[in-house]
Amino acid sequence: MEYGLELRAPFGTSHSSTSRRENALIEVWVEVPQQDGSSAVTVGVGEVGLPPKKPAAGYLSDFADVEGYPFKVAASAGHFSALRGITSFIQGGENPDEFARLVRTLLRALDEEPANVDPASRFARSGIEAAVLDLFCVHSRIPLHQLIGIDVSKEITEQGVPLGSSFYTIALNPDVQFMLQQARSSLSFTPYLKIKLDSNIEQGTEPLCTYRVLLAILNGIKKIIEEEFTEYPTWKLCIDANGAWNPEGCIEMLKVLKPLSDHIYMLEQPFPTTLLKEPSEAGTQAWKVVKAAYENAGIPIFADESMSTAADLPLLLDFVHGVNVKLEKAGGVRAALEALLQAQKFNLKLWIGIMVGSRVNCGTGAHLLPLATHGDLDGSLLTTEDSQVHEGGFVWGEGQYRGTVFLPTGLHGIGVRPKPASAH
């Protein structure tokens, strides 16, 4: 169903600015017969985050595309690949009960759908797959990360199982002071902030205008932390250009970033997606120079818009040090796992991202976070509480654990549950 989410503040990038998102919420439910003759309904849920459709940026689907995905359940034979812990039930050897067979049938049908030849189908597949996996995990009373074989055998605190650290996104806005206000609010959750920029804030001369704005933001955040958040022993910023910079601008920006390199976690997607789609010898060489310059400054470059599936990884090696893997763009949990595992083989740094959404897609992504060094799982903080229809899921750490997301013990599947009807 269409899932309208109101945003707490306008969310701007170099691609677009929105104050509301029209996502897709997917439920899969099964009636399970009980011994006393009654039946119990088990429900799995998934969400597809849908930013404004922009194929050039990798945003291939809107709600109409997801709604039109022709998914049909059919018990067809054929090879069905799986990853890591998923094999324990998908391949059928260790768990032969009817519920596991049903889930295998659903996933096999999803994988064999002819419409999958269209890359835009990945968005719909991501939400459907999440709902099916959540269904199985809820039925089996296990968390999603356990099903997919991700080790979270870390010290369990009173807040739950620590999954990893998450950044909070400060969206692009023509008012620098508004961005700093957003930074101040977000620092109550995490000392890790992602700053959205483009190449021409305030319609100034590129790159000097963004240079000036970036300098003001970096100095402003540094001042806020030093004066108001002295309890943070360390803090990190991610600069997200969303593909809007050019090689010359990147070198110019390095003058601003280098003095704060200890606090700059990464520069995300400075280059346009045409670098890979329409390569040129001059462009390739120029962006290789940028990578080397940032590497020498100790600031890694990550791909986002240019990164969708594992197939993209070899094409990115000359230009990046890491990748941002998003469930919707990959095509779901299993495809994201494949991309993450392949990226590890290439010695790339790993980041887990999600499209702006509710606790459902944030919660799904959180179960992959232990594979990465960081992520940005802040969607449920960017959207209003009243517009979300689920509660539960991961929680943000407090005190010395600010910036870490925890999964409370005892949660199954993704970890969310519908709010009481009176709550929304």
**Final residue belonging to a domain, choices 112, 142, 172:** 142
**Final residue belonging to a domain, choices 110, 142, 174:** 142
pLDDT(192) > 50: yes
262-317 pLDDT per residue, tens: 999 999 999 999 999 899 999 999 999 999 999 999 999 999 999 999 999 999 99
Q: What is the CATH number of the domain that holds 120?
A: 3.30.390.10
Q: What is the structure's pLDDT at 370? A: 94
- Segment among 131-145, 154-168, 253-267 with least mean pLDDT: 154-168
- Segment among 11-20, 68-77, 281-290, 341-350 with least mean pLDDT: 68-77
Task: Indicate if 122 and 171 belong to the same structural domain.
Answer: no
Q: What is the structure's pLDDT at 95? A: 47
Q: Which domain holds residue 298?
A: 161-418
The residue-averaged pLDDT of 191-205 equals: 73
- For residue 305, the SS3 value is coil
Task: State the Cα–Cα distance between residues 243 and 155, nearest whole angstrom.
Answer: 39
With respect to residue 221, please indicate whether it lies within any of the assigned structural domains: yes
Sign of the dihedral defined by the CA atoms of residues 9, 13, 18, 22, in that order: negative
With respect to residue 147, please indicate whether it lies within any of the assigned structural domains: no
pLDDT(154) > 80: no
With respect to residue 150, please indicate whether it lies within any of the assigned structural domains: no
Mean pLDDT for all residues in the chain: 88
Domain count, the chain: 2
Q: What is the structure's pLDDT at 175? A: 87
Secondary structure element (H or E) that encloses residue 218, with its range = helix 208-228
356-399 pLDDT per residue, tens: 999 999 999 999 999 999 999 999 999 999 999 999 999 999 98
Task: Indicate if 138 and 165 belong to the same structural domain.
Answer: no
Task: Indicate if 173 and 110 belong to the same structural domain.
Answer: no
Task: Indicate if 261 and 399 belong to the same structural domain.
Answer: yes
Q: What is the CATH number of the domain that holds 177?
A: 3.20.20.120
206-261 pLDDT per residue, tens: 444 677 888 889 999 999 999 999 989 889 999 999 998 999 989 989 988 999 99
Q: What is the structure's pLDDT at 414? A: 97
Task: Indicate if 128 and 207 belong to the same structural domain.
Answer: no
Amino acid at 96: P
Percentage of residues in the chain with pLDDT exceeding 70? 90
| Of 420 and 82, more confident | 420
pLDDT(420) > 50: yes
Task: Indicate if 167 and 61 belong to the same structural domain.
Answer: no
Task: State the Cα–Cα distance between residues 23 and 126, nearest whole angstrom.
Answer: 12
pLDDT(132) > 90: yes
Q: What is the structure's pLDDT at 93? A: 39
Q: What is the structure's pLDDT at 86? A: 35
Task: Indicate if 96 and 175 belong to the same structural domain.
Answer: no
Residues 6+ apart with CB under 8 A from 260: 218, 222, 237
Task: Indicate if 128 and 165 belong to the same structural domain.
Answer: no
Q: What is the structure's pLDDT at 250? A: 92
84-93 pLDDT per residue, tens: 233 333 333 3
The CB density around residue 176, as the number of other CB atoms within 10 Å, is 16
Task: Indicate if 32 and 169 belong to the same structural domain.
Answer: no
Task: Indicate if 56 and 201 belong to the same structural domain.
Answer: no
Task: Indicate if 205 and 318 belong to the same structural domain.
Answer: yes
pLDDT(77) > 70: no
Task: State the Cα–Cα distance between residues 70 and 65, nearest whole angstrom.
Answer: 10
The CB density around residue 211, as the number of other CB atoms within 10 Å, is 18
| Of 385 and 95, more confident | 385
**Nearest partner of 402 among 152, 221, 239, 165, judged by Cα:** 165
| Of 19 and 98, more confident | 19
Task: Indicate if 177 and 116 belong to the same structural domain.
Answer: no
**Final residue belonging to a domain, choices 82, 112, 142:** 142
With respect to residue 154, please indicate whether it lies within any of the assigned structural domains: no
With respect to residue 22, please indicate whether it lies within any of the assigned structural domains: yes
Q: What is the structure's pLDDT at 294? A: 98
